[in-house]
A and B are shown apart, each in its own frame.
Chain A
Amino acid sequence: QVQLQESGPGLVKPSGTLSLTCAVSGGSISSSDWWSWVRQPPGKGLEWIGEIYHSGTTNYNPSLKSRVTMSVDKSKNQFSLRLNSVTAADTAVYYCSREMTSVTGNPNDFWGQGTLVTVSS
């Protein structure tokens, strides 16, 4: 079964860039599935950040689009998230997830455990 693992700095300074990587195991990032990032501020709900296909095609949340970049590294079977010009409002647990394309609606079936990123000086 597919497993995802987020990694990256847990602390980022304000105005800096948040960079996270999601390593995929048990499946190929070059499959027909999409791969996405979701975040959750402490004590709050879930926010979809965006999604990427192995071809590099992306869809971003318009609320973050000007600051977000996602990429895929097929050789390492992983995908990444960069969020620049961060503020305290970007403090959240960040999850990577697979969007299963084999069923209607491409639901997010597999998730990483999540990683807390705190924006603070």
Chain B
Amino acid sequence: DIQMTQSPSSLSASVGDRVTITCRASQSISTLLSWFQQKRGKAPKLLIYGASSLQSGVPSRFSGSGSGTDFTLTISSLQPEDFAIYYCQQSYSAPRTFGGGTTVEIK
């Protein structure tokens, strides 16, 4: 299985801050990487696919980058509704493994 490692596991930030979350794969996955946002009690929501493509309807303050083994999710200006848990997931090979998650908390 491909292991996905996210960092940090949690962070505290203020509204308006620029936030960066990283995800590292245990082997090259090309750009077959998605990012999800999950709020308490809700299903995950697709933000980014193909490492850098913004899902329809997702605000442009979210962006993704990377290829191979190292990926980044950036929120350019954190908004109150962005406080949530973020997960990366690889779709290069089955099983489609997720990262352990990054909790973004209010500072």
Contacts and interface: CB of A to CB of B under 8 A. Distances in A.
B46 A108 contact: yes
B50 to A, nearest CB: 4
Interface of B: 1, 31-34, 36, 38, 42-46, 49-50, 53, 55, 87, 89, 91, 94-101
Given A95-B44, A108-B46, 11 more contacts: A38-B44, A46-B89, A50-B94, A50-B95, A60-B94, A103-B53, A107-B49, A108-B44, A111-B43, A111-B44, A114-B43
Contacts of B98: 45-48
Interface in A83-121: 95, 97, 99-100, 103-109, 111-114
Contacts of A97: 43
A99 B97 CA distance: 14
A63 interface: yes
Contacts of A46: 36, 38, 44, 87, 89, 98, 101
Interface of A: 36, 38, 45-48, 50-51, 59-63, 95, 97, 99-100, 103-109, 111-114
Contact of A108 (B34, B42, B100): B34
Nearest to A58: B94
Contacts of B50: 103-105, 107
Contacts of A45: 87, 98-101
Most B-side CB within 10 Å, residue of A36, A46, A61: A46
B37 to A, nearest CB: 12
Contacts of B94: 50-51, 59-61
Contacts of B89: 46, 48, 107-108
A48 B95 contact: yes
Given A103-B53, A105-B32, A63 B44 contact: no
Contacts of A100: 49
Contacts of A104: 31-32, 49-50, 53
A106 B91 contact: yes
A111 B1 CA distance: 24
A105 B31 contact: yes
